[in-house]
Homo-oligomer: A and B are copies of this chain.
Amino acid sequence: MEALTASPINGLREALSGIAMAEDPATLRLKSRDFFWFSPILKPLLEGREAALVAMPRTRDEVIRIAAAAARHRVPVTVRGGGTGNYGQAVPLEGGLLLDLSGLDRVVWARPGVGRFEAGARLLEIDRALRDQPEASGRWELRFHPSTRKQATIGGFIAGGAAGCGSCTWGQISDPGAVLAVQVVTLEETPRVLELRGSDVLKVLHAYGVNGIITEIEVPLAPWQPWAERILAFPTLGDAARFGWALAAAEGIAKKEIGIFDRRIPPMLKRVAPLMPGGQAMAIVMVSEPQAAALADCAADHGGSVVYERDPEEAEGAAFDGKGTMPPLYEYTWNHTTLHALKVESAITYLQVRFPEGGELALVEAMEKRFGDELLLHLEFQRRFGRVFVSSLPLLRFRSPERLGEIVAEVETMGGAVSNPHTYVLDNAGWKRTDAPQARFKALADPHGLMNPGKLLEQTR
């Protein structure tokens, strides 16, 4: 008994009495996973890696108690929100404690153009709260959300996400002004509560929770617009891509989503498939309802036509209340496209490709020609750095890690910039930004090197 109590986990469990915990096998398995299985390379590496204990705090004080106890008992801590990441962000490589923050889900406050939220608040629930308690100044919403709006938490999005629906207007979360402040609890015997503001927030952005426990986030809010949904069909992928470009470039048309899909993708999207004429490329778009006619004109300029439309009320009913048979259309965009395709064809995985400035559309057509049925292009149009920014989550029919490597190399030779989604190592995904010393902040916020161990190459433990 004494030996058991002396083990770090037992000591931790005892120290946390009164805080919701779980350690049944089903919960341990469930909470130790994210969507890493999108990658056939990550799958064998991360499958079966599990925490020994899950803690589910409801308040920051409980988080502080947990941080103190984990530091004292030297127990590794992996933080998770909705577990919708694709790179093993939430997988505890060295076991220990899984800290599920989804119980910290309050709106701290919201004012015109800005709101502060606990890290575990789900993105859809934040937007619901903002909808139900409108300011005198109007209705506000998050600027962007991934396609996992329903499942993802704002803390998880900040710690591992980048862009999403809304990025065709507002850019990405790492852009200046996109995140105003982040509150972080350090993993120390006497945890500190730090407030990072301005460019300091970059220290913990996309850091997978290796350098502090994010507890609150302050972000600018977007004024709501009556978002209408449209699906459009185009003769070719080139036509659809040129339309995507034109719409992204049209300052006069208020919009929230521009996804473009190879003709071979719609048949893999169950409820979308029957709407699309065979052999046509597709666009999924959200625009402000009064501008739907301008959108249709823009599509017609590129040979496109509207094949499905839903007004803002119905689109919101689908998003917030699951009304109707058609899910919100954003659940067919970004990495939900991959999810749907995986369901019908298990060999599917994906890449992340950014297109070179100036040569975007030429590369789209060159890639379409080059890779045949092995790579199916799925573009997401964004605005970044003051220009139209074309990113892509192409579906890839996986054959072997070697072949995947060859394709990545070839895409890069052709001019694309590939962010490898088949690694759980942060260093391979932009760690150590020169403009925000993430690594130095880690030494300060996690002096014992206990946070999400294994995600950094040079981790000093």
Interface residues of A (CB under 8 A from B): 111-114, 134-140, 169-171, 175-178, 180, 197-199, 220, 222-226, 245, 248-254, 288-291, 293-295, 297-298, 383-388
Taking a contact as CB atoms under 8 Å apart, the answer to whether A171 and B252 are in contact is yes
Chain B residues, CB < 8 A from A294: 176-177, 180, 198
On whether the beta carbons of B254 and A220 are closer than 8 Å, the reply is yes
- Chain B nearest CB from A116 CB (Å) reads 10
A-B contact pairs, 9 of them (CB 8 A): A134-B138, A135-B138, A138-B138, A171-B252, A198-B294, A248-B386, A251-B386, A387-B387, A387-B388
A113 near B290: Cβ-Cβ < 8 Å? yes
A176 near B290 with CB under 8 A, answer no
Closest 5 CB pairs of A and B: A138-B138, A249-B386, A223-B223, A171-B251, A114-B290
Distance A156 CA – B112 CA, assembled complex (angstroms): 32
- B113 adjacent to A251 (CB under 8 Å): no
**In the bound complex, how far is the Cα of B254 from the Cα of A114, in angstroms?**
11
Alpha-carbon gap, A64 to B398, bound state (A) = 69
Is there contact, CB below 8 Å, between B112 and A225? yes
Q: When the two chains form their complex, are residues B176 and A253 in contact, meaning their CB atoms are under 8 A apart?
A: yes
Is there contact, CB below 8 Å, between B137 and A137?
Answer: no
Q: Is the CB of A177 within 8 A of B252?
A: yes
**Which of B177, B251, B385 is in CB contact (< 8 Å) with A291?**
B177
Q: Are B113 and A384 touching (Cβ within 8 A)?
A: no
A129 to chain B, nearest CB (A): 16
B251–A170 touching, CB < 8 Å: yes
Q: Do B253 and A298 touch across chains, with their CB atoms under 8 A apart?
A: no
Most chain B CB atoms below 10 A, which of A113, A175, A245, A384: A113
Does B223 contact A138, Cβ atoms closer than 8 Å?
A: yes
Partner of A388 from B170, B178, B293, B386 at Cβ < 8 Å: B386
Q: A223: shortest Cβ distance to chain B, in Å?
A: 3
Q: State A178–B291 Cα separation when bound (angstroms).
A: 9
Distance in angstroms between the alpha carbons of A245 and B386 in the assembled complex:
8
User: A404 to B170, alpha carbons, bound, how many Å?
Assistant: 42
B residues near A220, Cβ cutoff 8 Å: 252, 254, 288, 290-291
Q: Which residues of B contact A245 (CB under 8 A)?
A: 386
Q: Which residue of B lies closest to A384 (CB)?
A: B251
Bound Cα distance from A134 to B253, whole angstroms: 22
Q: How far is the CA of A197 from the CA of B298 in the complex (A)?
A: 14
When the two chains form their complex, are residues B385 and A254 in contact, meaning their CB atoms are under 8 A apart? no
Q: Which residues of B contact A178 (CB under 8 A)?
A: 252
Q: Are A197 and B249 in contact (CB under 8 A)?
A: no
Please give, as numbers and ranges, the residues of chain B lying within 8 Å of A226 by CB-CB distance.
Answer: 112-113, 137
Q: How far is the CB of A115 from chain B (nearest CB, A)?
A: 9
Report the nearest B residue to A167, measured CB to CB. Answer: B251
A385 neighbours in B (Cβ, 8 Å): 249
Which of chain B's residues has its CB closest to A381's CB?
B386
Cβ of A254: which chain B residues have Cβ within 8 Å of it? Answer: 113, 177, 220
Closest to A301 in B: B176
**How far apart sit A277 and B333, CA to CA, in the bound complex (Å)?**
51
- Inter-chain CA distance A112–B251, complex, in Å, is 18
In the assembly, what is the distance between CA of A115 and CA of B267, in Å? 40
Asked if A250 and B177 sit within 8 Å, CB to CB, the answer is yes
Bound CA span A13–B95, Å: 92
Q: Knowing that A135-B138, A176-B297 touch, tell me 5 more A-B residue pairs with CB under 8 angstroms.
A: A138-B139, A138-B140, A178-B252, A198-B297, A245-B386
Given contacts A220-B288, A224-B138, A226-B113, contact A197 B293 (CB under 8 A): yes
Given contacts A138-B137, A138-B223, A254-B113, contact A293 B180 (CB under 8 A): yes
User: For the complex, what is the distance from the CA of A171 to the CA of B178, rounded to whole Å?
Assistant: 22
Task: Kindly provide the distance from the CB of A426 to the nearest chain B CB, expressed in whole angstroms.
Answer: 23
Q: Which residue of B lies closest to A137 (CB)?
A: B139
Asked if B288 and A251 sit within 8 Å, CB to CB, the answer is no
How far in angstroms is the closest Cβ of chain B from A153? Answer: 21
Complex: how many Å from CA A220 to CA B139?
17
Contact B297 A199 (CB under 8 A): yes
